Structure 1
Protein backbone atom coordinates (compact mmCIF):
# COMPACT_ATOMS: atom_id res chain seq x y z
CA UNK A 1 0.00 0.00 0.00
CA UNK A 2 1.32 3.40 -0.98
CA UNK A 3 -0.23 6.59 0.36
CA UNK A 4 0.35 10.06 -1.06
CA UNK A 5 -0.66 12.80 1.36
CA UNK A 6 -2.02 15.61 -0.80
CA UNK A 7 -3.27 18.20 1.68
CA UNK A 8 -4.77 18.80 5.09
CA UNK A 9 -4.34 17.73 8.70
CA UNK A 10 -3.56 14.02 8.62
CA UNK A 11 -5.18 12.81 11.81
CA UNK A 12 -4.69 9.18 10.75
CA UNK A 13 -0.89 9.38 10.74
CA UNK A 14 1.58 11.04 13.09
CA UNK A 15 4.58 12.87 11.68
CA UNK A 16 3.21 12.95 8.13
CA UNK A 17 3.12 16.19 6.19
CA UNK A 18 1.63 17.38 2.93
CA UNK A 19 3.51 16.00 -0.07
CA UNK A 20 4.90 12.93 1.69
CA UNK A 21 4.50 9.35 0.50
CA UNK A 22 4.38 6.30 2.77
CA UNK A 23 4.94 2.68 1.80
CA UNK A 24 3.54 -0.22 3.80
CA UNK A 25 4.87 -3.45 2.23
CA UNK A 26 2.81 -6.61 2.05
CA UNK A 27 3.00 -8.79 5.11
CA UNK A 28 3.88 -6.00 7.52
CA UNK A 29 0.91 -5.26 9.76
CA UNK A 30 -0.02 -1.62 10.16
CA UNK A 31 -3.04 0.33 11.18
CA UNK A 32 -4.08 3.50 12.87
CA UNK A 33 -1.43 5.10 15.02
CA UNK A 34 -1.97 4.92 18.79
CA UNK A 35 -4.67 7.37 19.86
CA UNK A 36 -6.09 7.85 16.36
CA UNK A 37 -9.26 5.86 16.93
CA UNK A 38 -9.98 7.76 20.13
CA UNK A 39 -9.44 11.13 18.39
CA UNK A 40 -11.85 10.13 15.62
CA UNK A 41 -14.81 9.47 17.93
CA UNK A 42 -17.55 12.00 17.24
CA UNK A 43 -15.89 13.38 14.09
CA UNK A 44 -18.15 13.64 11.07
CA UNK A 45 -15.39 14.35 8.55
CA UNK A 46 -11.67 14.80 8.20
CA UNK A 47 -9.78 17.75 6.83
CA UNK A 48 -7.38 15.66 4.80
CA UNK A 49 -6.91 14.46 1.25
CA UNK A 50 -4.78 11.41 0.51
CA UNK A 51 -4.51 8.98 -2.40
CA UNK A 52 -4.02 5.27 -1.67
CA UNK A 53 -2.61 2.85 -4.25
CA UNK A 54 -2.80 -0.91 -3.81
CA UNK A 55 -1.13 -3.07 -6.44
CA UNK A 56 -1.13 -6.71 -7.44
CA UNK A 57 2.48 -6.48 -8.58
CA UNK A 58 5.40 -5.34 -6.43
CA UNK A 59 6.65 -1.78 -6.50
CA UNK A 60 10.36 -1.03 -6.60
CA UNK A 61 11.96 1.66 -4.48
CA UNK A 62 14.35 3.91 -6.38
CA UNK A 63 17.71 5.12 -5.14
CA UNK A 64 16.30 8.65 -5.12
CA UNK A 65 13.52 7.55 -2.76
CA UNK A 66 16.02 5.87 -0.46
CA UNK A 67 17.98 9.14 -0.31
CA UNK A 68 14.98 10.95 1.21
CA UNK A 69 13.69 8.12 3.41
CA UNK A 70 12.43 9.18 6.84
CA UNK A 71 14.59 6.73 8.80
CA UNK A 72 12.52 6.83 12.00
CA UNK A 73 9.07 6.50 10.37
CA UNK A 74 8.60 3.03 11.86
CA UNK A 75 8.76 4.57 15.33
CA UNK A 76 5.58 6.56 14.65
CA UNK A 77 3.52 3.59 15.86
CA UNK A 78 5.12 3.69 19.32
CA UNK A 79 2.79 5.22 21.90
CA UNK A 80 4.12 8.28 23.68
CA UNK A 81 3.89 8.87 27.41
CA UNK A 82 2.36 12.05 28.80
CA UNK A 83 5.88 13.49 28.87
CA UNK A 84 6.15 12.94 25.11
CA UNK A 85 8.67 10.14 25.42
CA UNK A 86 8.22 6.78 23.61
CA UNK A 87 6.58 4.09 25.75
CA UNK A 88 8.63 1.07 24.72
CA UNK A 89 7.97 -1.24 27.66
Structure 2
Protein backbone atom coordinates (compact mmCIF):
# COMPACT_ATOMS: atom_id res chain seq x y z
CA UNK A 1 0.00 0.00 0.00
CA UNK A 2 1.38 3.38 -1.01
CA UNK A 3 0.78 6.31 1.29
CA UNK A 4 1.27 9.71 -0.26
CA UNK A 5 1.81 12.92 1.63
CA UNK A 6 -0.05 15.82 0.07
CA UNK A 7 1.37 19.24 0.85
CA UNK A 8 -0.72 22.28 0.20
CA UNK A 9 1.17 24.86 -1.81
CA UNK A 10 1.62 27.65 -1.00
CA UNK A 11 1.94 26.76 2.66
CA UNK A 12 1.27 29.65 5.03
CA UNK A 13 4.55 31.20 6.09
CA UNK A 14 5.25 31.28 9.82
CA UNK A 15 5.53 35.10 9.82
CA UNK A 16 1.85 35.24 8.95
CA UNK A 17 1.07 34.08 12.49
CA UNK A 18 3.03 36.77 14.34
CA UNK A 19 0.94 39.04 16.56
CA UNK A 20 -0.09 42.19 14.76
CA UNK A 21 -1.51 45.55 15.74
CA UNK A 22 -4.82 46.99 14.54
CA UNK A 23 -3.20 48.18 11.28
CA UNK A 24 -1.69 44.80 10.44
CA UNK A 25 1.91 45.66 11.36
CA UNK A 26 3.90 43.24 13.52
CA UNK A 27 3.16 44.28 17.10
CA UNK A 28 6.03 45.85 19.00
CA UNK A 29 4.00 46.89 22.03
CA UNK A 30 3.08 45.75 24.67
CA UNK A 31 5.90 43.59 25.95
CA UNK A 32 3.90 40.36 25.94
CA UNK A 33 3.32 40.63 22.17
CA UNK A 34 7.00 41.36 21.62
CA UNK A 35 7.99 38.33 23.74
CA UNK A 36 5.48 36.09 21.93
CA UNK A 37 6.76 37.19 18.52
CA UNK A 38 10.38 36.59 19.54
CA UNK A 39 9.52 33.13 20.91
CA UNK A 40 7.65 32.29 17.70
CA UNK A 41 10.60 33.47 15.60
CA UNK A 42 13.14 31.38 17.51
CA UNK A 43 11.05 28.27 16.81
CA UNK A 44 10.77 28.87 13.07
CA UNK A 45 13.63 31.02 11.75
CA UNK A 46 16.73 28.93 10.97
CA UNK A 47 19.12 31.85 10.82
CA UNK A 48 17.95 33.11 14.21
CA UNK A 49 18.26 29.61 15.71
CA UNK A 50 21.85 29.44 14.48
CA UNK A 51 22.74 32.86 15.91
CA UNK A 52 21.19 31.99 19.28
CA UNK A 53 23.08 28.68 19.35
CA UNK A 54 26.31 30.62 18.76
CA UNK A 55 25.41 32.99 21.59
CA UNK A 56 25.80 36.07 19.38
CA UNK A 57 23.57 38.62 21.13
CA UNK A 58 23.97 41.53 18.73
CA UNK A 59 23.52 39.42 15.59
CA UNK A 60 20.39 37.80 17.09
CA UNK A 61 18.96 41.24 17.94
CA UNK A 62 19.68 42.46 14.40
CA UNK A 63 18.07 39.33 12.92
CA UNK A 64 14.94 39.99 14.97
CA UNK A 65 14.97 43.59 13.70
CA UNK A 66 15.20 42.23 10.13
CA UNK A 67 12.04 40.26 10.93
CA UNK A 68 10.39 43.52 12.16
CA UNK A 69 10.47 42.33 15.78
CA UNK A 70 12.07 45.09 17.84
CA UNK A 71 13.30 43.74 21.18
CA UNK A 72 15.32 45.05 24.09
CA UNK A 73 18.83 43.73 24.76
CA UNK A 74 17.50 42.10 27.96
CA UNK A 75 14.98 40.11 25.94
CA UNK A 76 17.73 38.92 23.59
CA UNK A 77 19.73 37.73 26.61
CA UNK A 78 16.67 35.75 27.76
CA UNK A 79 16.35 34.29 24.29
CA UNK A 80 19.99 33.21 24.14
CA UNK A 81 19.93 31.76 27.65
CA UNK A 82 16.83 29.75 26.78
CA UNK A 83 14.50 31.44 29.27
CA UNK A 84 12.08 32.59 26.58
TM-score, with length taken from structure 1: 0.20
TM-score, with length taken from structure 2: 0.20
Q: Which has the larger radius of gyration?
A: 2
**Greater relative contact order (CA < 8 Å, ≥ 6 in sequence):** 1
